[in-house]
Amino acid sequence: NRRITLAARPEGLPEPRHFGLDTQPVPEPAEGQVLLQTLYLSIDPYMRNLMDPIGPGYASPVEIGAPMVGGTVSRVVASRNAQFRTGDLVLANAGWQDYALSDGSDLLALGDAAQPSQSLGGLGMPGFTAYVGLLDIGQPKPGETVVVAAATGAVGAIVGQIAKLKGARVVGIASGADKCRHAVEELGFDACLDRRAPDLAARLAAACPQGIDVYFENVGGEVFDTVLPLLNLHARVPVCGFIAHYNDSAPAPGPDRLPRLTATLLQKRVRMQGFIILDHYGERFDTFRREMAGWIAQGQVRLREDMVDGLENAPQALRRVLQGQNFGKTVVRVAE
Ligand code: NDP
């Protein structure tokens, strides 16, 4: 059983030396357990947060020497649990390793899903995050302007496509011309701006002539600074993430911008609300999966995966996400 472990806690961007690779005997399932083989491993930004000594609050940090955690699509290869049979495909939390045990309580049977890795992306946690954050907090109305950054990523691509289905005008922000072209031509966004090209603030103002009603916050940093003055009266800001800061080891120098934020929230009556998707699982996840499967089947939502081969390449895949080098939902193919 190959495992990728946390070898040391990074300051800044994780380097190869922060990860270890070891091999252990494949574990044996006890009564009530199943043995899972990892087929696909999801790579997500929160994994960086779990490498820090103090966790983000919603999950414990990974211990030094322990395997990195992560969502997986796994195959049951031995079962001592009456609910699962050998060969079943399941959505699981097996982490960065070839094999893992589960008592079944955290597994979702995937049946004979044609593209099971989609259950790590648009049909899984990131898609559910987009759905809950946009619909519950963002509440886009027809004709309103929705802005989302990391626009071609796992969450952002779904945010923009659901917002279009709800009749909103959608402006994406992403890095590079290829991603921006994809957002407009494949995902149906009305516009998409390259965050690395000059004059983002002026270009965003031009792309949002009616201001911004919903800003789905994925990134923080400079993008948030450019969005803030464009927020409309009664704008909604679902706070999903702030990846631009996940590698920060100290507060950035510079002027205190908190009063400007507070003044905007007050004067524009903005509602800015954080959410953690773990709070929303249960029946709602089934409803989401049905609705999203329908949208995908009808071609109303398109999914793009950034597939990386080999468990040993998972650390590099996480580095790519943290640097904006992924193009679509990042998934590691661990086994066929
Ligand atoms: P993505 O697939 O979107 O990959 C991350 C993207 O973030 C990169 O491709 C890049 O897009 C962008 N990015 C990276 N660094 C920066 C930077 N310095 N400034 C601006 N953009 C940057 O990841 P996910 O869709 O999985 O996650 C998106 C966000 O949602 C993250 O903040 C994540 O933590 C959050 N999240 C929150 C959840 C919750 O429960 N609240 C659940 C799931 C995700 P580009 O280069 O194109 O700009």
Overall average pLDDT of the 124-145 stretch:
98
Q: Both 148 and 188 in a single domain?
A: yes
Residue 292 resides in a domain: no
The yes-or-no verdict on residue 251 having pLDDT over 90 is no
For atom 16 of ligand 1, the residue with the nearest CA is 244
- If asked whether residues 46 and 96 sit together in one domain, one would say yes
Reported as a pLDDT band with limits 50, 70 and 90, residue 255 is confident
Beta carbon of 174 within 6 Å of any ligand 1 atom: yes
**At 50, which CATH number?**
3.90.180.10
Residue 34 shares a structural domain with residue 129: no
> Could you give the CA distance from residue 24 to residue 281 in angstroms, rounded to a whole number?
33
Separation CA 266–CA 161 (nearest Å): 30
68 and 31, same structural domain?
yes
Residue 284 lies in a domain: no
How far, in Å, CA of 152 to CA of 18, rounded? 28
Domain match, 237 and 150 both: yes
Would you say the pTM of this structure is higher than 0.95? Answer: yes
Residue 139 and residue 260 in one domain: yes
Residue 92 has pLDDT above 90, yes or no: yes
Beta-carbon contacts of 210 under 8 Å, excluding residues fewer than 6 positions away, are 145, 169, 232
CB 84, CB 107: distance < 8 Å: yes
Q: How many domains does the chain have?
A: 2
Q: Are the CB atoms for 224 and 202 separated by under 8 Å?
A: no
* CA 71–ligand 1 middle distance (angstroms): 17
Query: What confidence tens digit (pLDDT) does each residue in 29-78 have?
Result: 999 999 999 999 999 999 999 999 998 889 999 999 999 999 999 999 99
Looking at the DSSP bridge assignments, the partners of residue 257 are: none
Mean pLDDT of 4-25: 97
Structural domain of residue 50, as residue ranges?
2-120+304-333
The whole-number pLDDT of residue 231 equals 98
Instruction: Tell me what the mean pLDDT of segment 83-107 comes to.
Output: 98
Interval 197-201 mean pLDDT: 97
**316 domain-assigned:** yes
- Residue 160 shares a structural domain with residue 103: no
- Is residue 36 within 6 Å of ligand 1 at its C-beta? no
- 91 with 181, same domain? no
Complex ipTM tops 0.90: yes
Strands 169-174 and 145-149: parallel
Which percentage of the chain shows pLDDT scores above 70? 100
Give me the phi and psi of 309, to 5 degrees please. -95, 130
